[in-house]
Amino acid sequence: MDVRDRTRALLDAHDPAGDRLTFLRARFDAGLAWVHFPPGLGGLGAPRSEQAVVDAELAAAAAPGNDPRRIGIGLGMAAPTILRYGTEEQQQRFLRPLWTGEEVWCQLFSEPGAGSDLAALGTRAVRDGDDWVVDGQKVWTSIAHTARWAILLARTDPDVPKHRGISYFVCDMTDPGVEVRPLRQLTGEAEFNEVFLTGVRIPDRHRLGAVGEGWQVAQTTLNNERMAIGGQAAPREGGMIGVVAETWRSRPELRTHELHQRLLRGWLDAEVVRLTGERLRQQLASGQPGPEGAAMKLAFARLAQELSGLDVELHAEEGLGYDDWTMTRPEVVDFTGREAGYRYLRAKGNSIEGGSSEILRNVIAERVLGLPAEPRTDKDLPWKELPR
């Protein structure tokens, strides 16, 4: 039975207009959640390209979706990491409710003193029997206020160089000792947070990968994160360029030759990025995202900022308005929503989140272009001897 027949069998057995969660669970169990995952884990072991067939059939039947914007961190970062490094028990426990949206995930990586230099993180995890006791502070944690689970990096050995003494855990955000505090951002929202961990006990069965090898595990997460942010499939004139083009068409009184030239450059850049993304996704169909995803995320950030700025100018004085300055706690990270003023402000974060543009340029230079690495005098020093 091919994926089209499986999809139609799912629709015959489960009314897409019925209970949403029941349908999503049935879709996962039928292997139609992400078809390239193994059987029993929401997939069929089929080529990744077959997912488009499933999605088209379900869209035509008006079947419910799993609201990927709300659970994007789980789908784009936690799931591929759990698939690659998780035990069978972890995969069975976490992947289904992650995909159906029953459990939201967040990412506890960055710290006040370890953002761009993530390997310098100082949150400690100390072994105590079958548990790890975690103490530290994380920051810039999107959607931590709605999350049930978090992927967490913590230092388990301060006596070795910084990249070698890190371990990777799954943290229950409802456990005692986890405190989430909002961080108000430029838009007035507080979609991200700082998180304080005080004596949080994490069972060893919630560790991903070997002790001390968390940096290697994290590379899977980070590569997938960059693809999740910058490498999403989009139609021609999708995303911000579509928003700006529509503004141009609807506001002829504001057109100038200079703005027209900027729009054309933006349209061409957006099309280059879209086609490059298509080629990259084809290359990834049978493998794991690599450092090339850094280029997609870098291009996404630059385009979003340039195009949102152009959109504000096309709206003239109306583009400066932004009515909602109250601190809200949204459940989704919104890159392009609402009015032009919001989009312009929100896009400023695109060059920071998911790896700053400066760091991504280093990744591209060293891992894609093969250029010499920058000197790193602290590479072989034990973490505890690093100046802080």
Question: For residue 192, which of 147, 240, 135 has the smallest C-alpha distance?
Answer: 147
Taking only the tens place, the pLDDT of each residue in 286-333 is: 555 667 678 888 888 999 999 999 999 998 888 877 777 778 898 887
Q: What is the mean pLDDT of the chain?
A: 90
pTM for the model: 0.89
The vertex-35 CA angle with 33 and 41, nearest 5°, equals 65
Q: pLDDT band at residue 367, thresholds of 50, 70 and 90?
A: confident
- Domain ranges across the chain: 1-65, 218-368
Coil, helix or strand at residue 33: coil
Rounded Cα distance, 160 and 140, in Å: 27
Taking only the tens place, the pLDDT of each residue in 179-236 is: 999 999 988 899 999 999 999 999 999 999 999 999 999 999 988 777 766 556 677 8
Write out the E strands in 37-123.
105-108
Write out the E strands in the chain.
105-108, 124-128, 131-142, 149-155, 166-172, 178-183, 192-203, 207-208
Q: pLDDT band at residue 163, thresholds of 50, 70 and 90?
A: very high
Active site residues: 225
Please tell me the class of the 218-368 domain: mainly alpha
Of 25-34, 248-257, 274-283, the one with minimum mean pLDDT is: 274-283
Query: Measuring CA to CA, how many Å separate 107 from each of 80, 144, 331?
Result: 14, 8, 15
Number of Cα atoms under 13 Å in the Cβ half of residue 368 = 15
